[in-house]
Every structure is written in structure tokens, then in C-alpha cells.
Amino acid sequence: MKTPILILAALATAAIADAALRPHSMLTDHMVLQQQTDATLRGTDTPGARITVTPSWDSRTYTATTGADGRWAVNVATPAGSYTPYSITIGNDSGESLTLDDVLVGEVWLASGQSNMQMPLKGFPGCCVRGGYDEIASAGAQAGKIRFYTLPLAQSYTPIDTVAAVWAVPSPETAPEFSAVAWHYARRLTDVLEVPVGIVSAAFGGARVESWTPRDMLETYPDVSLDPADIEAMAGYLRPLVMYNAMFNPVKGYTYKGIIWYQGCSNVRSWETYADRLSAMITRWRAEIGLGDIPFYAVEIAPYDYDTPNEDGRSPMLRLAQWEAVSRVPQADMICINDLVEPYERHNIHPAEKAAVGKRLGDLSLNRTYGRRQFLAGSPRYKGHRFEGREAWVAIDSPNDGICRNYDIRGFEIAGPDGVFYPADQARLNWQTNEIVVSSDRVDEPRAVRYGFGDFVPGTLHGGNYLPLIPFSSEFCRSGENL
């Protein structure tokens, strides 16, 4: 794949140098604004120009004066969300004027990460999206409900402010390029909330968390070099800093409800630093967006056989680091997708099942952010364990309707004093105690038990709403968790 060319900083200031009334590149026809808030609209003009902004929903005129750098910004009070299209007229004291049409007001979410968030409904070459073309064929039915603002893949050594993108209306012509996860997420929200949903999609395949981190933070990481020669010698998708500059900085000034995030595969080899760096990135992004601790909902990386010396066997630790990261910051959570791969996808890092991922993110948001408690959130988790003879009895904390499977439970492994794990020959549910009883004919004296704790160890145990048991290993449990 050809690496995107690094963008020169001069491009970021081109709009200002033009010295004409110009809304920011995110302000286009068909955009979605966050409902019932003060949504920030911004742009450029000549220094000292008086700017007027008049939305059609209340015909109120907001004013601003451009600074010495030619930038202006106004906060516009938005109404309750609805499927009613509005317009916004922007003018200046020189008589210039323009109108943004078909503007919707609803819920706006930023979708970011790496390739599994970027992966469009049409799929990638050799990697299909299950049901993707069915969604594409019917996308026009969502034209008045969902809008996408998809950033082109770009990199930059310095922060840029504008991008070449427009808000797109769903249709069979536009939908093939929409993030599949974000599409199903948006559909879930608009179906339940009955307001429009706008997705700002800023994802780059293969990007590390360091790719989405600003320079001043990266300068404190001893293993990260910001020398341009070192950066350019790297595979393009692994470069630090450059996605933050080119794909987050231009959109951070928009008004969002929250962020959804699917990333981590490219940090498997450096899992030890991931929890610190992701939690720090979340805190920084929120600070720069300037809306407080807006929700941040992540996706646990899927089972995949990395099969390389510096990554093999490390993805279970990365998953633990993901959960640790979201536990460190407020208003953050994650979904598990350990069950959403097929056996043939062992060496496919882009699983075909994207609808369930988007819907689980949607249900998490509906429950945690919008108070719709009937949409269950929170996977079953390991609670503790005890050993009885040849068996490990694993207690499960299942907050939603208990355990929904008592047969063909796969994904458990058990080890004896030698520390060698073997797949369980038996894993059954004890209804009275809500424990899974695990054993293997090859282990006489069990000393450890785990579930889904490998690069590619899909599981079949579910709780309410078909939410999967989160992978765990008793070897890495904190003291006090054992029974």
C-alpha cells in the first residue's frame, strides 16, 4: 500500500491567506450539529471582519469578529434533535454571504482508531464485510437520518486545520465508503433515539496509539523518535504523531457527544506501555475538544493469530491493557468481541462481522450515555475461582440475566503445576452457583484456569443480550479476586 504523502504546513494556512469569507471545512451542506447545546461553528476571513451566523431554526443572528490570524468562531444554541432539515446563513460586513443547506440537528460522534474502524461497508480487498452490500443497497432509506464526514487518509509533521472532505448523505453511491462499524452504530442510535446521527470518521489502518498523540506528549516517551528521518523510515501506518496532526487536529473543534474507538492491534508488541498511553491520549483529546469528559467507548481487539516473533502470544496482554486504560478515566468503557470471529479468520485481522460490533457499541452508548437501561451493557466477567480435585470452578459475575449457555462452552483452558495449558475437555454451567466447572483429561492437579486468553482463542460463553464473557487468566488476577 502506498504511504500517504506528508502534508506541508503551508496547506493548513492556505484558507486564511485567501482572505475571503470561508467556513471551516467541516461546515458543509448536509452536516449534523449536536442537539441542545452551544455548537461551535468556525471559519476564516480577513482580520477584523465582522461575521454573522443565522440558523433557520430560530432566525437568531450570532456575531463574531475575526482575530489577527483571520479566524472566527461562534457558539450557536441548537434545538432538540429532529429529522427537520435546516439552513445556516453566514455573512460578513463586506456583503459576502453563503448558506449551508440540509443541516440536521441530532447526535454527533467521532469514530477513530485503525483499520477495523476504517473498514468500509464495501470491505477491503480480500476482507469482506458480512451483509455490507445489503446495507449499501438500502442506504438511501437513512438519507434523512444519518450523515458521514469521512476524513481522507493523511499525515503531517505539523498540525493542520482543514481537510478535503464533505458531509455525505447515505445512498448506494456514497455508502460503500462509510465505516461499517460506525454505520451500524449510527443506525442503532437513530433507531432508538429517533434523531439524526452524524459520524465524523477519522481512522487510519494500522495506526498505533502514538500515531494519534501530539508532539509534546510523545517527546516524553523514551522509545519514540520524532526525527523526520526516523519517522519516514518507518512503515507509514506505524508513524507517531502524523495522524494526530492531519486527522484529529482538523476536527477537534467540532461539537461532539462522544467518541468511539477501535484500535490496538499495532500496539500488541508494546502492550506494556499501552494502558498509560491510551488513557493519556483520551485525557488529552477530551481537553482539546473542550467539552469535558465526553464518553469514550472502545472495542477490545478481536482474536487473531499474529504469528510473528515480536507479537506472538502478546495480544492477551494488550487486551488487559485496553481494559486497564478505560478503567483509569471517567466516562469510558469497552465492549468485548471475543465471539465475533470465524475459525477461518485466524489469519484475518479484519473480521467480517461488523454489524454486531457497531450494535454493541450502540447499546453501550444507549445504556451508559442516554439512560436506556433496557439495552444491556456489561459483559460477564471473571469473579474468582477455586479448585476441587481435577476441576476448576470459575465464578462468573454476569450482570445481565445470568449465563445464557450451558452446552458447547468453548474457550476455556486449564493448567497444572507445570504451567502448560490444555483446552478444556469439559466446561459446564453449575446453575446453583453460577460457576463454570472446567476440567481436562490431561491435567490431574489444576493450578490455573483461563478463557479466551490467547492470540486466537474465540469463546462461546454469553450473558444477557448475547454479550460474551471477557477473556481472563487466573494468573493475572489481582489478589482478593480468588474465591
What 3-state class would DSSP assign to 319? helix
Residue 191 pLDDT > 80: yes
pLDDT at 282: 98
Alpha carbon of residue 97 to chain centroid: 37
Largest CA-CA distance found in the chain, in angstroms, rounded = 86
Q: Is 438 exposed, middle or buried (0-12, 13-18, 19+ CB in 10 A)?
A: buried
Q: What does the pLDDT read at residue 20?
A: 87
| pLDDT class of 108 with cuts at 50, 70, 90 | very high
What is the rounded distance in angstroms from the CA atom of residue 300 to the CA atom of residue 324?
A: 11
CB 243 within 8 A of CB 155: yes
- Residue 295: pLDDT band by 50, 70, 90 thresholds? very high
User: Does residue 18 have a pLDDT over 60?
Assistant: no
- pLDDT for the residue numbered 84: 98
Res. 11 pLDDT band, cuts 50 70 90:
very low
Q: pLDDT digit string (tens) for 314-351?
A: 999 999 999 999 999 999 999 999 999 999 999 999 99
Q: Are strands 412-415 and 421-423 parallel, antiparallel or unpaired?
A: antiparallel
Is pLDDT above 80 for 15?
no
Sorting pLDDT into bands at 50, 70 and 90, what band is 424?
very high
Residues in the chain: 483
Name the residue type at position 364. L
- The predicted pLDDT at position 2 comes to 42
Q: pLDDT tens digit string along 427-446? A: 999 988 889 999 999 999 99
pLDDT-wise least confident of 18-32, 44-58, 167-181: 18-32
Q: Which helix (H) or strand (E) holds 412?
A: strand 412-415
pLDDT on residue 400: 79
Q: What per-residue confidence (pLDDT) applies to 104?
A: 98
Q: What is the mean pLDDT of residues 243-248?
A: 98
Helices and strands counted in the chain (H then E): 10, 24
Rounded distance between C-alpha atoms, residue 50 and residue 43, angstroms: 12
Beta-carbon neighbour count of residue 94 at 10 Å?
Answer: 12
Q: Which of the two residues, 427 and 1, has the higher pLDDT score?
A: 427
Average pLDDT, the chain: 94
Please write the tens of the pLDDT for every residue from 113-140: 999 999 999 999 999 999 999 999 999 9
Sign of the dihedral through C-alpha 232, 234, 237, 239: negative
Give just the sign of the alpha carbon dihedral 295, 299, 300, 306.
negative
Instruction: Report the alpha-carbon distance of residue 385 to residue 460 in Å, rounded.
Output: 19
Q: What is the pLDDT of residues 41-79, one digit of tens each?
A: 999 999 999 999 999 999 999 999 999 999 999 999 999
pLDDT at 304 (0 to 100) = 97
| Nearest-10 Cα torsion for 238, 239, 241, 242 | -110
Find, among 13, 191, 199, 57, the residue nearest to 120 by Cα: 199
Task: Name the helix (H) or strand (E) containing 44.
Answer: strand 38-44
Beta-carbon count within 10 A of 406 CB: 13
In the chain, the percentage of residues whose pLDDT exceeds 70 is 95
